[in-house]
Amino acid sequence: MSMEGSDDNRWQSYNTVYTSAKAGMEGVDKEKVQRIVYEMSKGSKYFQNEERKESFIKYKVQNMRLHFSNLTHSDLSHYQKIADKRILELEASRDLSRIWLHVDMDAFYAAVETLSNPMLKGMPMAVGSMSMISTANYEARKFGVRSAMPGFIARKLCPELIFVPVDFKKYTHYSDLTRKVFQRYDPNFIAGSLDEAYLDITEVCRERNVKSEEIAQEIRVGVLEETGLTCSAGVAPNRLLAKVCSDINKPNGQYVLPNDRLAVMTFISSLPIRKIGGIGKVTERILKEVFGISTCEQMLDKGSYLSALFSQSTADFFYSVGLGLGKTDSPQVRFRKSISNERTFSASEDEALLHKKLAELAEMLSTDMQKEGLHGRTLTLKLKTASFEVRNRAVTLQNYINSSDDILKHASKLLKAELPVSVRLIGLRVSQFSGQKCGATPDPTQKTITNFITSGEANRKNSSFSDVTDHDFVTDTETDLSLDGRHTGQLDSRDPFDGDHSLDVNYQSSTLRKTAGAEKVRTSDNADASSNHSGCTKVLGGSTSFQGKFEGKNVNNGSNLLEDDRPNSCQEMIMLWLDDYKCSLCGAELPPSFVEERLEHSDFHFAELLQKEESSIHQASVPIQRVRSTESIDKANPRSKSCLTRRASIRPLIIFLLESSQSLRCWCSINSTYGRYY
DNA sequence: GCGGATCAC
DNA sequence: TATGGTGATCCGC
């Protein structure tokens, strides 16, 4: 398995989102698209950042694989029981009493533009700019052009491509027209973005005694008559499935999934997980590469592994996907939780210029807030550096603010602390609004059976309400407050099928930390690497010897490890980064710049070794035990001044591993804790 | 409360 | 030449 391809096939590993399946792109030569995207991108700052992110995802996958393969039979039977129980409970919550319809306009922006300029009909066209495309029509999609793709690449794919600038006023107008139609069928319909909506058509079907299929047809005809635009519809027992269904016969088509359990299970069984809202590029990769999961059905097959490696809420989400469950309630109220604006410009480190940009943003934000009468007390500054790294810096104030002066005053402080820095984007966000009491009691009538059944500890959250109705949130931006999935606010977050279930693995500590401190660490690491011409970089000096494991003998006597201050065991660990890139022990790939991640990786092997030693010494099984906190363990073992000077908190981990079980989950939770301590 | 990451459109 | 903007959520600090 070669780690790096030659220049000829490097493009294969440049994973962009542009090649994932989308309606109208079935006949596209994906390979050609990917090659061109790679050629146009390679060497750029953006590309380098993508590579950095890619390496990190690779690392995460490798790390999870390690955890995966370390699960013992006893672990697995334990987690299998948990999984079985949860799946049964979720199955019991299945609600087949509602009929949901999801409407999705076909290539909305592009269709509207064609409506106002019929000359465009039949020609490949994209709405957007050379920097970014919002929507492409179906003629353009044949060339591989699609939304979120920069225009200059799209033009390479399709030299004839016509560009039309975005015009949100126009789209909002047409969106309003469609919503008048939706209103007739469900006055409480849920408006997603400008071009999407969910309708509960249960009552209409019942009152008029017609099939959902006919209602869907009627709505689509109504939209066409009202706007001249086509749309697609999906009908299913819940919103999650309805959304999937609206994509099936796109464009200008519809698909009905009956309210029947067997039909749902059959439908879901072969469905690729990427079709599910909330499972994006990264989650798809992890599930595929770590667990071999690519269809929804496999979520249930691998239940024990999912329980072992993910948080309960995330595992629940995965199970619900496997069961074809989704939300069926109609939330009546929503409220905004934050308001923001951000602008991209040519990268600069000119302090005066940056301050000017900041002042403009503060002015705009203040205007927006005053329009809605909002006052907030948390201000977040967002920076994207010239190398595309994103930083957020926040401050929470005593008072609620919304004047541009107040915003600018505090934003300036946040910015000053980051200087000097070359940035290409500045953003400002205000949250924690006044008049929105956190912890308000939710409306009990909103509590669905699912909520009731699953409102266990892990799902309990504060809910807050405002008296803003759905439609008050329609703005003239591209994305309204979406009600789809994660965007439903806290009301829905009590539902386990909701929320952002992306990658909240238990050891999420392995995150990129690009703080000033980390930069310094990296600098010194680079210095080390440059002084080492062998092509290998040794890591984790100042840790316990790791050599024994690979020579088939124990390094330490596990039983006296606790008592031993081990002043002499601080030998350099024999772990190499082959070609300064690949772990010599497990093959995990991690570039030199990932200083902290490398250290953490080394620690993992270290702990793994201890674990193995321990299990060979103490064969007896020990009950699984949760660690309360590193602090409590520290207190329990005040004397252990180990030589692990790099981070003091690895000690509790070792103690824990020696004292208790080989429970992977416990190890994960500690790993995520100590990983942050430096 | 803060910061990073992920996701959707 | 050149890779967006807005909003939300989760998790572990």
Tell me if A643 is assigned to some domain: yes
What band does A178 get if pLDDT is binned at 50, 70 and 90? very high
Domain assignment of residue A603, given as a range? 516-674
Residues A529 and A636 reside in one and the same domain: yes
Of all residues in chain A, the percent with pLDDT exceeding 70 is 63
Q: A365: pLDDT confidence band, cut at 50, 70 and 90? A: very high
Among A378, A475, A385, CA closest to A428: A378
What CATH number corresponds to the domain at position A236? 3.30.70.270
Catalogue the E-assigned strands of A169-266: 190-191, 196-200, 231-236, 254-256
Q: Is the dihedral of CA A66, A69, A71, A72 positive or negative?
A: negative
Structure confidence by residue, pLDDT tens digits, A276-331: 999 999 999 999 999 999 999 999 999 999 999 999 999 999 999 999 999 999 99
User: In this model, does residue A449 exceed pLDDT 50?
Assistant: no
Compute how many other C-beta atoms are within 10 angstroms of the C-beta atom of residue A174.
23
Is A610 a domain residue? yes
Report which DSSP code applies to A324: T
| Same domain, yes or no: A388 and A451 | no
Question: A34 lies in a domain?
Answer: no
Residue A46 confidence (pLDDT) above 90:
yes
- Tell whether A560 and A662 lie within a shared domain: yes
Same domain, yes or no: A115 and A200:
yes
- In this complex, the residue with its CA at the shortest distance from the C1' of nucleotide C8 is A487
Examine the domain organization and report whether A657 and A549 are in the same domain.
Answer: yes
Longest CA pairwise span in chain A (Å)? 83
- pLDDT, residue A604, reads 55
More confident residue, A465 or A373: A373
In a domain, A349, yes or no: yes
* DSSP three-state, residue A165: coil
Strand partners, A243: none
* Domain match, A356 and A423 both: yes
User: What are the C-alpha distances in Å from A414 to residues A116, A380, A396?
Assistant: 45, 8, 12
In a domain, A80, yes or no: no
Residue nearest to nucleotide B5 (CA to C1'): A511
Q: Please state the domain count of chain A.
A: 4
A618 and A566 share one domain: yes
Instruction: Decide: A662 and A584 in contact? Cβ < 8 Å.
Output: no
pLDDT top residue among A638 and A267: A267
Output the domain CATH number for residue A381. Answer: 3.30.1490.100
Say which amino acid occupies A579.
Answer: D
Assess whether A150 (CB) lies less than 7 A from strand C: yes
Interatomic CA distance for residues A297 and A87, integer angstroms = 12
Residue A133 lies in a domain: no
For residue A147, what is the enclosing H or E element? none
**Statement to judge: residues A323 and A354 lie in one domain:** no
Residues A404 and A447 in one domain: no
- Which of the nucleotides in strand B have any atom less than 7 Å away from a protein CB atom? 1-9
Please give the Cα distance from A304 to A83 (Å, whole number): 6
Q: Do A113 and A224 sit in the same domain of this protein?
A: yes
Exposed/middle/buried for residue A438 (C-beta within 10 Å: 0-12, 13-18, 19+): exposed
A468 has pLDDT over 50: no
- A85 belongs to a structural domain: no
Decide which of A391, A417, A433 is a domain's last residue.
A433
- pLDDT class of A18 with cuts at 50, 70, 90: confident
**A387 beta carbon < 7 A from strand C?**
no
CA of A352 to C1' of B4 (A): 28
Condensed to tens digits (0 to 9), the pLDDT of residues A426-447 reads 999 999 999 875 543 333 222 2
For residue A140, the one-letter residue type is: A
Query: Where is pLDDT greater, at A505 or A280?
Result: A280
A322 and A449 in a common domain: yes
- Decide which of A262 and A537 is more confident: A262
Rounded CA-CA distance A450/A497 in Å is 9
β-pairing, A133-136 vs A125-128, is: antiparallel
Q: Which of A24-38, A186-200, A450-464 has the highest mean pLDDT?
A: A186-200
Residue with tokens 């690497």: A529
Q: What is the pLDDT of residue A436?
A: 73
Q: In terms of domains, do A648 and A566 share one?
A: yes
Average pLDDT over residues A390-408: 98
- Residue A512 Cβ under 7 A from any strand B atom: yes
CATH number at A456 reads 1.10.150.810
Q: How far is CA A613 from CA A402, A546, A610, in A?
A: 59, 12, 5
| Domain final position from A236, A259, A282 | A259
Contact A544, A569 (CB under 8 A): yes
Specify if A549 maps to a domain: yes
Q: Which of A28-37, A53-62, A262-271, A631-640 has the lowest mean pLDDT?
A: A631-640
**Residue at which a domain ends, from A399, A433, A467:** A433
| Bigger pLDDT: A60 vs A628 | A60
A636: pLDDT confidence band, cut at 50, 70 and 90? very low
